Structure 1
Amino acid sequence: MKLARTIGSITLSKSHPAMANAKLRLVEVVDSIERVDTEPLGGDTIVAWDLCSTGLGDLVALAEGPEAAQPFKPDVKPLDASIVALLDEVEL
């Protein structure tokens, strides 16, 4: 699981039928915990399925790989990343 910040939304004109009603967000991965409050974060930019109704600038937890599709089982979704939590605060 990775920390990321939402930086935009994605709109699809055509998509796979399994992606119907998908809410997609553009997120920037936090590359270093010391930079969690800075912008830009400096990490990779990823498109993720938004399971938490996030807003622009929200800090989120990002699941990638097979774990990203787990909430949809037994349905199969063609995705590599999903937002699984909205984070209020990070404390070390």
Structure 2
Amino acid sequence: MGLEICEERCNQCLFSENRIVSKTRMAQIVRDCRRNDTYFQCHKHTIAGRDVMCHGYYETQPPSQMQCIAERLNAIEFVPTPKEGL
């Protein structure tokens, strides 16, 4: 098992106009992820107890060290994006 990433953005993606937090909070989340060399987890997968990178984060942010390693090892797996929830 490698690094799981949503295959597409969900309908409430942090990186869309339908986000469930303010733009200010979004900026804080992104800043914290980058400072900690991690990534934003898809909130819908998190509710289900899974650690899956948000596709919007994957598309818009520089890769973390973990993502670079996973890419080099060909260990990235795109998983279905939840359609339900929240």
TM-score > 0.5 by shorter chain: no
Higher relative contact order by CA 8 Å / sep ≥ 6: 1 or 2? 2
* TM-score of the superposed pair, with normalisation by structure 2: 0.26
| Larger gyration radius, structure 1 or structure 2 | 1
